[in-house]
């Protein structure tokens, strides 16, 4: 293990606001700079850094091996983490050094760079089994478990994944080796959400041969890939975002625990406007209707368009999971239950009361979303790249969702 003290500078919109210091034996300390603490007009790093009076928290406990949850959630998970760590020659569990090599292109407006003159220690590969030929690292991090890469759009169409260095303004999700037609599924669900008036970034369903520089060893398991425009990159400028695992200080492995849709709704109600609340309810209803059992804490985010005010971020990761993993349970409890078969107007009334949201706004939005969904689904389902099995699975599911039939 490396016992040398090393420091990473945390930059927000290109300005240094904090440091993460490795003090040996994989213990790390996070601290804001005095300049950031004393700046009354400072941009917001995250809602979880607010104290009970709305001020800035400035005292943090040291962490071991993992970083604090806010920064741990910026890193990829599982297979993607191991792939990028292997390329860089970094043990994937040593998050300080993984952030070091991936910190140039993180989600939102954060970048992380080593303090001036510091170089990576030579023994970072300790704990990696076997002999690995290290390559120049891909210096971007897309949090989550799916194989997805930051990509650049060609002027003539198609996308390319940069072989090294930072990525681009699109996210490419490759086909799954376990489940059939996930790109087609996600593209269809996102397009349906767009038709229902939700805030959906530009998307593409691309033949896999229109994406160049797919890294070796990844494998090509289908004919198409799904691409979505990064909403944290606008006109080459970074826009700050954070997901709700970061907001609640929950580590990625606990993204299905520790909080509920009621908790998310309460934050949106406090921080956002009525339109943010309505958008939250539209997405909650929609993802229940399509049977998306994977809307965990990392699949809900806020965005800081003016650097200080949080609003609900554009939609992402809408997939009907029932064709792959049948069941009656959503990933997060709504208010009292996480069962699709318990999702009705009474459950939404309970959510509104407990999260202190306007009940009429919640219920009217839910009813409008259900009515619009039935209309759009009937008209568009056969024009989307969905198999007959997927359509039949969703329609069978709808018959078991009380809100879908009662409204």
From 222, 232, 267, 221, select the one nearest 248 (Cα to Cα): 267
Under a CB-based contact definition with an 8 Å cutoff, are residues 109 and 232 in contact?
yes
Whether residue 213 contacts residue 154, with contact meaning beta carbons closer than 8 Å, is answered with: no
Which of 8, 45, 17 lies closest to 308, judged by CA?
45
Q: Quick one: CA dihedral 204, 275, 252, 181, positive or negative?
A: negative
Q: Which helix (H) or strand (E) holds 170?
A: strand 170-173
Residue by residue, DSSP assigns 256-272 as TSS--HHHHHHHHHHHS
199 is catalytic: no
Backbone region of residue 291 per phi and psi (left: phi > 0; alpha: psi in -120 to 50; beta: other values):
left
Identify the active-site residue in 26, 105, 294, 317: 294
Structure tokens at 259: 């909080």
**DSSP one-letter string for 370-399:** HHHHHHHHHHHGGGSS--HHHHHHHHHHHT
Query: Which tokens belong to 295?
Result: 């809307």
H helices present in 91-237, as ranges: 95-102, 182-195
Nearest CA to 146 among 185, 91, 110, 108?
Answer: 185
Unique residue bearing structure tokens 């229902």: 196
Distance CA 265, CA 256 (A): 16
CA 170/CA 226 separation, integer angstroms: 10
Q: How far apart are alpha carbons 70 and 247 in whole angstroms?
A: 8
Residue 237, classed as helix, strand or coil, is: strand
Helix, strand, coil shares of the chain, percent, nearest 5, are 35, 20, 45
Q: Helix (H, G, I), strand (E, B), or coil: what is residue 112? A: strand
- Residue 234's nearest CA partner among 139, 306, 149 is 306
Q: Which residue has the tokens 């969905």?
A: 386
Residues with a catalytic annotation lie at 294
């Amino acid at each position: 293990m490396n016992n040398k003290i090393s420091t990473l500078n945390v930059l927000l919109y290109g300005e240094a606001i904090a440091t993460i210091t490795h003090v040996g034996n994989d213990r790390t300390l996070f601290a804001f700079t005095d300049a950031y603490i004393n700046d009354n007009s400072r941009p917001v790093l995250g809602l979880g850094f607010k104290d009970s009076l709305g001020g800035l928290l400035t005292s943090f406990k040291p962490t071991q091996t993992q970083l604090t949850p806010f920064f741990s959630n910026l890193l990829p998970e599982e297979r993607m983490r191991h792939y990028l760590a292997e390329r860089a020659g970094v043990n994937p569990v040593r998050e300080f050094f993984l952030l070091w090599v991936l910190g140039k292109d993180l989600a939102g407006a954060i970048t992380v760079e080593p303090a001036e003159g510091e170089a990576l220690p030579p023994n970072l590969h300790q704990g990696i089994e076997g002999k690995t030929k290290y390559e120049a690292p891909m210096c971007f991090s897309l949090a989550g478990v799916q194989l997805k890469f930051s990509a650049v759009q060609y002027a003539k169409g198609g996308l390319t994944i940069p072989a090294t260095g930072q990525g681009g303004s699109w996210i490419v999700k490759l086909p799954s080796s376990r489940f059939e037609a996930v790109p087609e599924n996600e593209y269809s669900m996102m397009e349906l959400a767009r038709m229902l008036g939700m805030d959906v970034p530009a998307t593409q369903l691309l033949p896999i041969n229109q994406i160049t520089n797919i890294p070796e060893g990844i494998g090509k398991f289908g004919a198409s890939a799904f691409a979505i425009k990064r909403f944290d990159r606008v006109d080459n400028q970074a826009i700050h975002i954070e997901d709700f695992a970061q907001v609640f200080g929950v580590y990625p492995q606990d993204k299905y625990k520790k909080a509920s849709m009621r908790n998310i709704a309460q934050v949106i109600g406090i921080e956002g406007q009525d339109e943010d609340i309505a958008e939250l309810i539209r997405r909650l209803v929609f993802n229940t209707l399509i049977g998306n059992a994977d809307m965990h804490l990392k699949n809900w985010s806020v965005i800081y368009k003016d650097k200080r005010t949080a609003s609900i971020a554009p939609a992402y990761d809408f997939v009907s999971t029932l064709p792959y993993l049948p069941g009656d349970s959503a990933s997060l409890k709504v208010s009292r239950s996480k069962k699709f078969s318990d999702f009705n107007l009474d459950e939404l009334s309970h959510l509104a009361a407990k999260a202190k949201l306007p009940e009429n706004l919640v219920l009217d939005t839910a009813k409008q979303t259900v009515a619009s969904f039935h209309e759009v689904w009937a008209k568009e389902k056969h024009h989307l790249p969905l198999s007959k099995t997927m359509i039949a699975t969703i329609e069978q599911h709808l018959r078991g969702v009380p809100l879908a039939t009662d409204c």
